Amino acid sequence: MESGAAPEGIGRRTFLAASLSGITTLALASCTWSEPNPSPPPTTVPPATTPPAPTNGVPLPTAMSRSSWGDDAFSRGAFSFDAVGSTPDLRRALAEPVGDRLIIAGEATDPERPGTLAGARESGLRAAADVTRLGTSGERVAVIGAGLAGLTAARELVDAGFEVLVIEARDRLGGRIQSVDASGFDTSIEMGAVFTGDDAAVVDALRDASVDTVPFVAEVSATTNAGLSVPIPPTGPDAVAIAQQWAAGRPADVSLATALADSGATPLSAVPDESGVSPADWLAHTINSGVAPSTGAVTSAVSAERYDPDRLGGLGELVTGRLADYVDALAEPLEIAVSSVVTRIAYDDARVSLRLDSGESLNVDRAVVTVPLGVLKTDTVEFSPALPLMHQRAISVLGMGVVDTVWLRFDEAFWRADVAGEPDDPDDTADAAPPSPANVLTVVGAPTPVALWIDAGLTSGEPLLLGLIAAARATRLEALDDEEFQAEVLDSLAPFATATG
Ligand SMILES: Cc1cc2nc3c(=O)[nH]c(=O)nc-3n(C[C@H](O)[C@H](O)[C@H](O)COP(=O)(O)OP(=O)(O)OC[C@H]3O[C@@H](n4cnc5c(N)ncnc54)[C@H](O)[C@@H]3O)c2cc1C
């Protein structure tokens, strides 16, 4: 049901102030903000009371928390990636104002750093600049989505004198920034973004918001399924480079899988060396622990031309505090309606009308839409009229990858080389091996469901692991219950429980 004389829509309503995370949030007093289709919260599994027998020497964790971004109705994936045919111009096309009234933002619209905090922030700044250019100070603007893009845009617009209401589907802020105080963990953990990236503006903003981070230079180790620690040869990256070089000379973009197959980069020998690992295993290692977690996609979907093998190189610092503090700092002066799902966006030359899942409508002068690409790919938000063809094309061609996080806490860090005696054990100084510098643990050989493990407690000494599960494996594991899921991820750790060499 549309509400009447439009532009006063928001102003005439009485807002009921409520408090969430110390910021002011709003719910329209005249309607009930229902919460259909809630996004699944991360599941935290307390220590098992009747633990299944530990397998393969892996002890049971004392706590586990897992995400499910692919399943999440308000993200439908983890971040955008360059699927076959993607170009930065497609992202720019998605960001083009629609009829001067509607502006799409969010990480997927950033041509430089899609899929990152920096890209999301930049897209929010760009959207706010577009609204400021097209509109007049004092206009009413709705910002749909209270993730980093939406909150950044809203802050800029408020500062520029616009009347801004942020509308957020979930009952929390931050979107794919999700800091959780999960039971069994001593510190807050991040279920979404966890690295700062190297964008100076984001790093400064995190420092201003007192978000603790620690330096993180990826030191990747590889362990065979049999537990043998082996040096990583350039075999896999070399094959990908040959494939990408070949693809660059093609008239049209092809998938990385096609490029690997047709360039002559593969097949690689499947004959194992003395450590039991073959060249083909090393290529699979590059794909499983490099391509998959950096795109969230399988090689048959990833653009050979656009794939960036160095993406995991620019991680920046590891967040050890709460990224949500950054979100809360941004949100602090804003008016935000939470648990409010936008289901329809109608626009013409004069205004934008939004329909919410409650059936209520509100009318504004302009709207900034920051719902994730994964949501735009579904029909959960109806646009009337339909978005222009170039926007539709961008939404269809750009990819949305699936990456999940799993946090595990143990009694002791059995995967570290010096665990037999923790660093401050005086008896251990004489013959202890030097601590392993590896902070990224991978397995080579038969692939495990977890793409890579980050030793998130290496600096602090905490026995804390962050696993990344990517692409088809993430989708498969999301369907498992917690017990089945835990069994699979613990199995993935088996090589480190028996590690030698
Ligand atoms: C597992 C994972 C790991 C990551 N790791 C990193 C990392 O280490 N470093 C890094 O830089 N980036 C990382 N990212 C990416 C980063 O988190 C995102 O790029 C960024 O947070 C996206 O911000 P956004 O505002 O564009 O989207 P979002 O944060 O998704 O915000 C969109 C908002 O829209 C809301 N919404 C959706 N539908 C509706 C609707 N119908 N009505 C109203 N509201 C709606 C959502 O609830 C959400 O709050 C990671 C992401 C994931 C998932």
372 CA to centre of ligand 1 in angstroms = 7
Ligand 1 atom nearest to CA at 405: 1
288 CA to centre of ligand 1 in angstroms = 23
Ligand 1 atom nearest to CA at 152: 25
Ligand 1 atom nearest to CA at 150: 25
Residues 6+ apart with CB under 8 A from 343: 355, 356, 357, 380, 381, 382
Residue 17's Cβ-count burial label (10 Å; 0-12, 13-18, 19+) is: exposed
Residues 6+ apart with CB under 8 A from 279: 235, 268, 269, 270
Query: Tens-digit pLDDT profile for the chain (501 aa)?
Result: 333 222 333 332 223 233 233 333 344 433 322 333 344 566 665 544 444 545 578 999 999 999 999 999 999 999 999 999 999 999 999 999 999 999 999 999 999 999 999 999 999 999 999 999 999 999 999 999 999 999 999 999 999 999 999 999 999 999 999 999 999 999 999 999 999 999 999 999 999 999 999 999 999 999 999 999 999 999 999 999 999 999 999 999 999 999 999 999 999 999 999 999 999 999 999 999 999 999 999 999 999 999 999 877 789 999 999 999 999 999 999 999 999 999 999 999 999 999 999 999 999 999 999 999 999 999 999 999 999 999 999 999 999 999 999 999 999 999 997 544 444 444 444 343 444 579 999 999 999 999 999 999 999 999 999 999 999 999 999 999 999 999 999 999 999 997 665
75 CA to centre of ligand 1 in angstroms = 7
Residues 6+ apart with CB under 8 A from 381: 342, 343, 344, 345, 369, 371, 375
Q: Looking at residue 56, what is its pLDDT?
A: 78
Q: For ligand 1, atom 5, which residue shows the shortest CA distance?
A: 193
Ligand 1 atom nearest to CA at 119: 19
Alpha carbon distance 255, 291 (integer Å)? 12
268 CA to centre of ligand 1 in angstroms = 38
Alpha carbon distance 20, 15 (integer Å)? 15
Domains along the chain? 6-39+82-178+324-397 (3.50.50.60), 219-314+402-501 (3.90.660.10)
